[in-house]
Amino acid sequence: MTLALEHDGRPLLQGKVALLTGANGGIGLAVTDAYLASGAKCVVADLPKDPSAGISALLDQYGDSLCYLHADITNAESRQLLVRTTLSQYGSIDVLFNNAAVFDMGPLLDATEAQFDRLFDVNVKAMFFLMQAVAKEMVQAGNGGKIINMASQAGRRGEALVAHYCATKAAVINYTQSAALALAEYGITVNGISPGVVDTPMWDSVDALFAKYEHRPLGEKKKQVGEDVPLKRMGVPNDIAGTALFLASPLSDYITAQTYNVDGGNVMS
């Protein structure tokens, strides 16, 4: 199901341009779909050189309103290319959906610097400097803007086997607050989304890691975390897309420095 909303009788994001990372599947794909259906033009970026079947279908449906780019956002030149391409393709950047991230886990006593560097390079450093690059363009344009950073319920607490990932997502929440205060004078809002357990292909990899380190059968952890949610199910990408659409829209103009828990009741804060 595609989300699409209207405001004052017109598509909610009509005339807006959005840059989205980590958009080839899962949550990023669902948000891209929602933004396009609500009138936005989108530049989407991900590591694969070729767009997924989902993005290809959206390219067929929306044509010139969607552009897919292969990009490694840990690379400064790639981040600048994303910004330049969005500006040259559509003339502005009104929304940043800062979604690209990686996951890993393991016993704390076995953690390596390589694992630490990979998680922080993608989830924190690349997230921050892409946010900074887009914010500079928004400030120069003088039309405000919306920045949405993807955190996680893991950023709300530590976990024995997930120390680095939890720390990276806590950093996302903190940077979201700091950036919101720094950019408020320019009319730029900065908010975050903190998903709980969301049923995407990534969770199959997460489940396999829990099976390895907690000596569980494959599939058991995924089943358990869904049952433990107060709403008794894992989330789906559209559960997150609704909040991402709201935060990109005029409906959230007076909201900034917040990170929304979209997790079926897992975290209460």
219 in the same domain as 157: no
Determine contact, residues 33/62, Cβ cutoff 8 Å.
no
Say how many domains are in the chain.
2
The CA distances from residue 8 to 3, 17, 45, 175, in Å, are: 17, 19, 31, 33
Name the residue range of residue 157's domain: 11-198+236-262
Query: Over 90: is that where the pLDDT of 8 sits?
Result: no
Residue 3 in any domain: the answer is no
14-23: pLDDT as tens digits: 999 999 999 9
Residue 89 in any domain: the answer is yes
Model pLDDT, residue 10: 82
Using only C-alpha atoms, the chain has a radius of gyration, in whole angstroms, of 18
Give the rounded percent of residues in the chain with a pLDDT score beyond 90: 94
145 in the same domain as 117: yes
Per DSSP, 235 falls in state B
114 in the same domain as 101: yes
Q: What's the pLDDT band for 172 if we cut at 50, 70, 90?
A: very high
Count helices and strands in the chain by DSSP H and E runs: 9, 9
203 in the same domain as 72: no
71 in the same domain as 23: yes
- CA–CA separation, 223 and 235 (whole Å): 12
Q: Are strands 188-195 and 259-262 parallel, antiparallel or unpaired?
A: parallel
Which CATH number characterizes residue 127's domain? 3.40.50.720
25-42: pLDDT as tens digits: 999 999 999 999 999 999
- CA–CA separation, 201 and 26 (whole Å): 7
Identify the active-site residue in 165, 213, 254, 260: 165
Determine contact, residues 104/202, Cβ cutoff 8 Å.
no
The CA distances from residue 235 to 31, 122, 134, 160, 211, in Å, are: 14, 24, 29, 23, 21
62 catalytic? Reply is no
Better pLDDT: 266 or 269: 266
Model pLDDT, residue 269: 84
